[in-house]
């Protein structure tokens, strides 16, 4: 699954640690999600969507469907 | 954002607190295990009441350690929980399969020494450690 977390984070000038703090996960988890090594659960994806005021589809894209 | 970060500060503090609590419980369990193992021989010279007390205290602290581990796991984030789950699955599988083979070797007298439970615990502990290292490297 691809995602735009790194871009969205950079646009707001947030570090991985800032985003991790906002989503209540570890910085390693944010790093793994950004690199596509770990797919977040639906609740975490919703939390990210709420934080960025976007829909889940605007942040996460299914590579198989693309 | 600042409010979110403040909430997360609570989350980080909670994880640290639970990790510390698990560390204390594990340390206490280790000490009481050593006491129950070596105490009868070296400290209280086979006094039955003291030996039974030491084993009971060891069991009680062991149960507290299980609860502390449960709370610790619940406080981790989902990726950390996945790493722990995979490491525990590996440890359980290796312990189960190798433990049974080890026992069969002993039963069939293909092994000179008696099978010891401590060897199995050591194997499971090392497998769990290797599993967490592999998991952290995989997602890191």
Number of domains within chain B: 2
Mean pLDDT along residues A3-24: 95
Pair B71, B81 in one domain = no
| pLDDT score of B3 more than 80 | no
Last residue of a domain, one of B58, B76, B94: B76
Encode pLDDT of B81-138 as tens digits.
999 999 999 999 999 999 999 999 999 999 888 899 999 999 999 999 999 999 999 9
Task: Give the containing element (helix H, strand E) for A8.
Answer: helix A5-11
Residue at a domain's end among B26, B50, B76: B76
Residues B15 and B61 in one domain: yes
Condensed to tens digits (0 to 9), the pLDDT of residues A43-53 reads 999 999 999 99
Phi, psi of B4, deg, nearest 5: -65, -40
Q: Which domains does chain A have, with CATH numbers?
A: 2-56 (1.10.260.40)
Does residue B9 belong to the interface with chain A, where contact is any CB pair within 8 Å? yes
Cβ <8 Å between A25 and B12: no
Q: What is the ipTM of this complex?
A: 0.91
From B76, B91, B119, give the residue that closes a domain: B76
Instruction: Tell me the HSE value of A65 on the side-chain side, using a 13 A CA sphere.
Output: 6
Q: Nearest by CB to A24, from B8, B82, B138: name it.
A: B8
The predicted-structure confidence for A18-57, as pLDDT tens digits, reads as follows 999 999 999 999 999 999 999 999 999 999 999 999 999 9
Please tell me which of the candidates B8, B9, B139 has its beta carbon nearest to residue A38.
B139
Q: Are residues B45 and B12 in the same domain?
A: yes
Distances (CA, A) of B68 to B20, B23, B40: 10, 9, 28
Q: Six-digit token pair at B53?
A: 């007390």
Within 8 A of B72 by CB-CB distance, chain A residues are none
- Higher per-residue pLDDT: B39 or B7: B39
Q: What is the pLDDT of residues B8-63, one digit of tens each?
A: 678 889 999 999 999 999 999 999 999 999 999 999 998 999 999 999 999 999 99
């Amino acid at each position: 699954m691809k995602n735009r977390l790194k871009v969205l984070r950079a646009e707001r000038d947030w570090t991985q640690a800032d985003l991790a703090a906002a989503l209540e996960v570890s910085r390693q988890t944010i790093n793994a999600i950004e690199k596509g090594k770990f797919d977040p659960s639906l609740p975490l994806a919703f939390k990210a969507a709420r934080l960025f005021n976007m829909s889940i589809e605007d942040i996460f894209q299914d590579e198989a469907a693309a | 954002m600042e409010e979110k970060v403040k909430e997360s500060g609570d989350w980080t503090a909670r994880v640290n607190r639970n990790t510390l609590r698990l560390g204390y419980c594990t340390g206490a369990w280790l000490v009481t295990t050593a006491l129950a193992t070596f105490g009868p021989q070296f400290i209280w010279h086979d006094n039955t009441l003291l030996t039974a007390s030491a084993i009971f205290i060891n069991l009680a602290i062991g149960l507290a350690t299980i609860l502390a581990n449960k709370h610790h796991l619940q406080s981790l984030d989902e990726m950390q929980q996945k790493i722990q789950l995979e490491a525990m699955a590996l440890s359980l599988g290796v312990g189960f399969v190798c433990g049974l083979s080890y026992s069969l070797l002993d039963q069939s007298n293909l092994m000179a020494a008696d099978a010891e439970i401590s060897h199995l615990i050591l194997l499971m502990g090392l497998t769990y450690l290797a599993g967490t290292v592999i998991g952290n490297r995989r997602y890191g």
